[in-house]
Structure 1
Amino acid sequence: MLDFILIGIGTGNPDHLTLQAIKALNSADLILIPRKGETKADLAELRRAIVADVVTNPATRIAEFDLPVRNEATQSYRARVDDWHDAIALVWKDTILGEIGSSGRVALLVWGDPSLYDSTLRIAERVGRSLPLTIKVIPGITSLQALTAAHAMPINEIGAPFTVTTGRRLREQGWPRGADTLAIMLDGDCSFRSVDPTGVTIWWGAYVGMAEEITLSGPLSDVADRIVATRAEARARHGWIMDIYILRRQT
């Protein structure tokens, strides 16, 4: 039987690791580190640095693998994601079997937390269809928590709800009903530009919680273009970007 431990590591800052996460990493027989290509080599290096910083168990093995690339050319969005998750699950399975077989403790470091707009749990369930395993989650600091901390703000107004959604849904379906505060994740297209900026404030951050952290905030009509330019420059400089933002409109 395999124990598959999904460990939330925050936004890449080793200080974000909980004591529970550190203990779990040191209990693992195998730690998996995905590689996402040359343009995102820093992401694998951050995982390596975290492991080197906190893992003291000499018996723990490290295995790196190349993450499959999602095919964006065909099928619906959902079908493309499902095929991509199937491919990732197969790579995980083959790597685990090749390293330690079908028994032991395997750890995978997950950006943020596995519960919030992350597919690691769904992919792990796919692995469990062909390998006997139990799944355990060690929660981590989310990018949303890091963003609100960076701006020293609460995400909700008193007694008011907020909605967490994606940039794609904001572009395609507009402002969701029922909430005047939105947290927008997984947005590679600056979808805030599709929103009527009248009375809307934005709190934006990239690489939140990391040494490279960038934050901007203000009326959307005033800072939207500045965020777009800042984001493009940061992505060109680093080769990748992780950003998130909150929108709030006056009621």
Structure 2
Amino acid sequence: MKTLLIIGIGAGHPEHITVQAARALARVDVFFLMDKGEHKGKLNALRREILERHATPGSYRLVEVLQPQRPLGSDYRASVDTLNAHKQAVFERLLDDEVADGECAGVLVWGDPSLYDSTLRIVEAIAADGGRALRYEVFPGVTSIQALTAAHRITLNSIAGAVQITTGRRLAAGMPDGVDTVVVMLDAHDGFKALIGQDLDIYWGAYVGTADEVLLSGRLDDLAEVIAQARQDARRRHGWIMDSYLLRRRT
């Protein structure tokens, strides 16, 4: 029997690791590090720092592989399904070739494994296949939503108000009815601009919890172009961007 631990490591700060996650890290014999390319080298550097702080020195090995890229196309769902199939093939190879029977492997997941991450779906599919003796455990982490609201010193919800978590792609349809607060996790095209004039506040953050953190907040109508420019500048400077934002109806 092989064991796989899916460990949430928080939104970017090395101290986001929970005590439970730290204990899980100490159990692992081999860690799988998914490399997203040279522009995102800081991500794996942070993973390595977390392991140096919390894993048992000399007791584990690292296997680093290049993460498959999502194919381009107009059908977003189909491209994600294709990406996950490629990731599943990578995971299956790693489990077969890099983990001995009785050993424990670990995967470090940004934020929390349950939120906008497909690792759980992929591992579920591998376990359901029945071709491997595999057990897996999941350890929650601090989400980018929690890191964002803490950085801005705000609550996630208004009193008795509903919250919706969505993407920039869906935000183009407008602010949902009956919802006071919307959190946007994936927005490559400044979807918040579609809501200018709707009397909203925005709380935006990039690289939250890291040394590169950038925060902006205020009335959306006043900040939409400022945030759009900040996103461009950050992407140009780092080669990539990891950001999220919260929109709330003004009272």
SS at match of 2:121: helix
Q: Indicate conservation of the 8 Å contact 2:169/2:187, yes or no.
A: yes
Q: 1:88 aligns to what?
A: 87
Amino acid paired to 1:192: F
Q: Is 1:133 the equivalent of 2:134?
A: yes
Q: Indicate conservation of the 8 Å contact 1:33/1:48, yes or no.
A: no
For 1:102 and 1:86, the matched residues in 2 are separated by 24
Q: In the TM superposition, what whole-angstrom CA distance separates every residue of 1:152-211 from its partner, at most 9, and x where no partner exists? A: 01111111111111111112x322222021111111111101113331110000111111
Q: Indicate conservation of the 8 Å contact 1:25/1:31, yes or no.
A: no
Q: 1:34 aligns to what?
A: 34
For 1:119 and 1:99, the matched residues in 2 are separated by 21
Instruction: Give me the TM-score of the superposition, normalised by structure 2.
Output: 0.94
Displacement of 1:101 in angstroms is: 3.5
Amino acid paired to 1:115: S
Q: 2:122 aligns to what?
A: 123
Q: 2:98 aligns to what?
A: 99
For 2:121 and 2:99, the matched residues in 1 are separated by 22
Amino acid paired to 1:184: V
For 1:3 and 1:177, the matched residues in 2 are separated by 44
Q: 2:152 aligns to what?
A: 151
Instruction: Give me the TM-score of the superposition, normalised by structure 1.
Output: 0.94
Q: 2:112 aligns to what?
A: 113
Amino acid paired to 2:178: G
Q: Indicate conservation of the 8 Å contact 1:65/1:95, yes or no.
A: no
For 1:98 and 1:20, the matched residues in 2 are separated by 28
For 2:219 and 2:32, the matched residues in 1 are separated by 42
Q: 1:205 aligns to what?
A: 205
Bigger mean CA offset, 99-108 vs 208-217: 99-108
SS at match of 1:230: helix
For 1:162 and 1:14, the matched residues in 2 are separated by 28
For 2:132 and 2:12, the matched residues in 1 are separated by 30
Q: 1:191 aligns to what?
A: 191
SS at match of 2:146: helix
Taking only the aligned residue pairs, the percentage that are identical comes to 45
For 2:12 and 2:152, the matched residues in 1 are separated by 18
SS at match of 1:211: coil
For 2:110 and 2:248, the matched residues in 1 are separated by 26
Amino acid paired to 1:68: P
Q: Indicate conservation of the 8 Å contact 1:147/1:245, yes or no.
A: yes
Q: 1:232 aligns to what?
A: 232
For 1:152 and 1:56, the matched residues in 2 are separated by 35
Paired residues in the alignment total: 249
Displacement of 1:102 in angstroms is: 4.8
For 2:239 and 2:110, the matched residues in 1 are separated by 17
The 5 Å alignment of 1:61-80 reads 61-73=61-73, 76-80=75-79
SS at match of 1:27: coil
Q: 1:23 aligns to what?
A: 23
Q: Indicate conservation of the 8 Å contact 1:96/1:102, yes or no.
A: no
Displacement of 1:150 in angstroms is: 0.5
Unaligned runs of 5+ in 2: none
Unaligned runs of 5+ in 1: none
For 1:97 and 1:127, the matched residues in 2 are separated by 12
